[in-house]
Amino acid sequence: MVVLDMTKKTDVRITHKHYSLENGIFTLQIDVGDYDLTNKIITAKFSPKEVETGNLDVIDGIINLPIYSNLLKSGVNYIQLNFRWDENKLEQSPKMMWNISPSLTATEAAQEDV
Of 22-26, 41-45, 74-78, which range is least confident?
22-26
- Report whether pLDDT(76) > 70: yes
Residue 110 has a pLDDT of 60
DSSP state of 53: -
Rounded distance between C-alpha atoms, residue 103 and residue 84, angstroms: 35
Q: Which tens digits make up the pLDDT trace of 50-67?
A: 999 999 999 888 899 999
Q: What is the DSSP string of 66-111?
A: EE-GGG--SEEEEEEEEEEETTTEEEEPPPEEEEEPPPPPP-PPPP
Residue 3 has a pLDDT of 40
- Report whether pLDDT(70) > 60: yes
Q: What is the DSSP string of 24-62?
A: --EEEEEE-TT---TT-EEEEEEETTTEE--PPEEETTE
